[in-house]
Amino acid sequence: MNDVRIAGVGLTPFGRQPERTGRDLFAEAALAAREDAGVAREAFEGLHYGNFMGALAERQGHQGPLMAEAAGLDCPATRHESACASAGVAVRHAVQAIRAGEHDVLLAGGMERMTNLPTTEVTESLAIAADELFEVRAGMTFPGAYALMARAYFEEYGGSREDLAHIAVKNHANAVPNEFAQYRREVTVEEAMDSPPVATPLHLFDACPITDGASAVVLVSDDYAEEHGLDAPVRIAGSGQGGDNLALQDREAFSRTPAATEAAEAAYDDAGVGPDDVDVAEVHDCFTIAEVLAVESLGLFEHGEGVSAAREGRTTRDGELPVNLSGGLKAKGHPVGATGGAQIVEMAKLLRGDHVNSDALSDPRVGVTHNAGGTVASAVVHVLEVDR
């Protein structure tokens, strides 16, 4: 089996960019990744591309070949859709193809353009990632769904809105120096607590913003990297995917995310590591409660302990296990089809040592990324390791 190395990474700034088209956004990220990799255009054998709501936001289907063209590539291209986990799934399929020996050089990533629509239309578009028959028709939105998950968690394990506020404060602080982040300003616990309610117990600062952006990663086989003398010290050592019932009402519990646990266990087993080996994590904090569920599903904290980890300083930049040094979805932004790829980009740079927040880490070797779809009916986890 071929090892898969990250030869290059690229991002656009995340934020409000309604005047830009989706193809323009992805072109910027893809060209940056190609330049970072130093791989010839002719070497690319395929594109795995994540996008969720392009058919609604831009009335554009069949985006795979369109984005390959935007990236300057002449190769087969496939669009992957798994709600907010779309780019994570795209990266996973690229990893599997290289491992199987089918390809040596692939581009993976994703894009979402969202702010060209009114907020109400974005909310309605995102809602189709839930069960249309039994949730959407009843008026369920994702803030409401995650509020139910937060209330169930508090009832089972304890915790408070103030615990969640500390997660927002941590992630905003991490985003301040990140040039790609949407919200580069600090917030206080008091600001987070006093922000308007969105869906009780979640308030405005518990929720990620509506965002435009794109991400891209150049993946190559270990043999190709060695043969062409590429500087690619970070490899994707483990990959896992899990699933769950789509509707919350069909789950055994709201306070855990078994799909993420399944994906994490598979990724750890694949990489030959465990949660205790992880030095840094980028997780899918679409809402502050989602970070709690993520770090527990990844086995980084016991169930019931994740909610207080930020308040206790355990997941801050100077804590024992920094989480979301990029700013996370909460402050960096969440262009849903691009997020899973962006997590890989941020983690690769953190492990390479050229991320703006790399100084928060001391000789990191293992990083984990966690990308979730909907209320975590889909989850993709990747384990990244760096050569030292």
The catalytic residues are 84, 334
Nearest CA to 90 out of 299, 342, 348, 367 is that of 342
- Rounding to the nearest 10 degrees, give the CA dihedral for residues 204, 210, 211, 215: 90
Decide if 4 contacts 98 (C-beta within 8 A): yes
CA angle 3, 216, 169 (to 5 degrees): 105
CA angle 180, 45, 212 (to 5 degrees): 25
> Residue 7 belongs to what H/E stretch?
strand 4-11
48-80 in b/e form (b: 16+ CB < 10 A) is bbbbbbbebbbeeeebbbbbbebbebebebbbb
Single-letter code of the amino acid located at 151: R
Measured between alpha carbons, how far is residue 47 from residues 66, 71, 111, 315 in Å? 11, 9, 13, 34
